[in-house]
């Protein structure tokens, strides 16, 4: 089976092509595939957590996940390692972006990449070459030194947190829809606005412009949306905002 490298990043303009080109220059192997970019909202560690965890659901074992997403003022450690479940390889800054992945897949190996110092666009000049080496099978312990799991930054995502907004304006959020039945009416509060919403299993069956909550497609996360309209844009919400709801 061919090995795949998956970039999860907010570098989604020409910078992604630079990242991909840097990897292709280093691997020179038809047995390694660089997948299309997985875009993340700029500077959003919450969205990065969601995207990484979602890709772990989608890709086969031995995939290399490369997370380039760093809003930190200080330079965090660059982490490399391997998960206990599915044997995924990973690389990214110690910003909390691995919280969801580590919780569900565990950690078999964890190292801090040997620091070559600061480079403008370290993703291209440090990160991409290191990911190439990982994909080509270089032992992780030759690329860095052991890093304590206790030093890994953890992100605390509370129930009701919007973790992703797609291009249709549908808002995926953490929470539990247990006990709701088709057609139940709900009061929803998001970003200071109060909405009258209905719970349904298939949102597209509803009338255009209707607000609905429904079981989403991403490992059981509920979603809030306005049928065939961009609800997130209308509400001016962002990732990290909170959604609360109660049955009427």
Buried-state track 73-86, b at ≥16 Cβ within 10 A, e below 16: eeebbbbbbbbeeb
Buried-state track 197-225, b at ≥16 Cβ within 10 A, e below 16: bbbbeebeebeeebbbbbbbebeebbbbb
Alpha-carbon span 46 to 49, nearest angstrom:
5
Alpha-carbon span 155 to 226, nearest angstrom:
29
pLDDT in tens, the chain (248 residues): 789 999 999 999 999 999 999 999 999 788 999 999 999 999 999 999 999 999 999 999 999 999 999 888 888 999 999 999 999 999 999 999 999 999 999 999 999 999 887 777 888 989 999 999 999 999 999 999 999 999 999 999 999 999 999 999 999 999 999 999 999 999 999 988 999 999 999 999 999 999 999 999 898 899 999 999 999 999 999 999 999 999 99
Q: Where are the beta strands (DSSP E) in 21-153?
A: 32-34, 38-39, 64-68, 78-82, 89-93, 109-113, 144-146
Alpha-carbon span 15 to 45, nearest angstrom:
19
How many CA atoms does the CB half-sphere of 157 hold within 13 Å? 27
Helices 14-27 and 128-135: crossing angle in degrees, nearest 10, is 40
pTM, rounded to two decimals: 0.94
Alpha-carbon span 163 to 160, nearest angstrom:
9
CB 111 within 8 A of CB 145: yes
Domains of the chain: 3-151 (3.40.50.10790), 162-247 (2.40.30.90)
Q: 51: closest CA among 31, 62, 36?
A: 36
Alpha-carbon span 110 to 165, nearest angstrom:
31
């Amino acid at each position: 089976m061919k090995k795949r490298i998956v970039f999860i990043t907010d570098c989604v303009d020409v910078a992604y092509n630079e990242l991909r080109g840097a990897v292709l220059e280093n691997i020179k192997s038809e047995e390694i595939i660089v997948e299309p970019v997985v875009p993340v909202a700029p500077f959003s560690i919450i969205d990065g957590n969601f995207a990484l965890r979602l890709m772990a659901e989608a890709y086969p074992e031995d995939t290399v996940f490369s997370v380039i997403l760093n809003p930190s003022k200080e330079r965090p450690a660059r982490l490399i390692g391997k998960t206990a479940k599915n044997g995924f390889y990973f690389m990214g800054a110690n910003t909390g972006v691995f919280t969801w992945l580590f919780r569900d897949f565990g950690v078999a190996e964890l190292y801090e990449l040997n620091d070559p110092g600061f480079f403008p666009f370290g993703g291209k000049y440090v990160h991409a070459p290191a990911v190439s080496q990982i994909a080509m099978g270089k032992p992780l312990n030759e690329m860095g030194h052991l890093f304590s799991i206790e030093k890994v930054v953890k992100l605390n995502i509370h129930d009701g947190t919007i973790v992703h907004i797609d291009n249709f304006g549908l808002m995926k959020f953490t929470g539990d829809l247990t006990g709701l039945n088709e057609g139940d009416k709900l009061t929803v509060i998001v970003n200071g606005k109060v909405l009258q919403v209905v719970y349904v299993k298939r949102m597209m069956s509803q009338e255009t412009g209707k607000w609905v909550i429904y079981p989403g497609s991403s490992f059981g996360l509920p979603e809030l949306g306005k049928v065939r309209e961009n609800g997130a844009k209308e509400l001016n919400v962002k990732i990290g905002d909170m959604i609360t709801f109660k049955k009427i």
